[in-house]
Structure 1
Amino acid sequence: MKNNAKKLAEQDESRLVASGIPYTIVRVGMLQNTPGGTQGFSFEKGSTEKGSLSKEDAAFICVEALGVIPPVGFTFEAANGEEKVSDWKECLTRLMEKSEQKLP
């Protein structure tokens, strides 16, 4: 992401976090014009720095995230990787719980 776009995205995220509204932020790797549903995923911190994700997969993840409402806020990264996901609700709930454990 270019520096200006990244800075604007960070400002938008800060405003959203400060709003107190429950939110989910999905940070994705470089978006690709490739068919979705053909690769696995990586949700590891830093996976978006080097990874990529098809636009179809990014849209699919966003739709699936609508079904898992966080109590306050939830941010995660997604790129194509090795993990196959068959139950998105379980996967996103696990990621949410993992991110909550890291909070002070």
Structure 2
Amino acid sequence: METFTQRALLIIKSIPAGKVMTYGQVARCAGQPRGARQVVRILHSMSGKHLLPWHRVINSKGEIGIKETEAGRLQKKLLEDEGISFIDEYRIHLEDWIYDAGMDAADW
């Protein structure tokens, strides 16, 4: 059986360009509905090693979580480069860009 971390990595890697998922959505799909903070940890510690599209994971308000930092500006630029438009400085209209992975832990 795969661990939560392994499932989360697969889910994050599956997010297509021009789409986003929320931390909570990734956690739910990976089998831990209350694991959003764990997803943040996974992104922070494993994005480079696993070449994760970290910029495609945002918070449930449709916002970049690390605003007004170099990383936040980079995340915004990467999302804009994929065609995602922002409705204000760091927020998108989530319903327009959300990726429905169409899966839950049983699919992994």
| Fold conserved between structures, TM > 0.5 | no
Task: Determine which structure has the larger strand proportion and give its number.
Answer: 1
Whichever of the two has the greater Rg, that structure is: 1
Higher helix share: 2
Q: Name the TM-score, length of structure 1 as normaliser.
A: 0.29
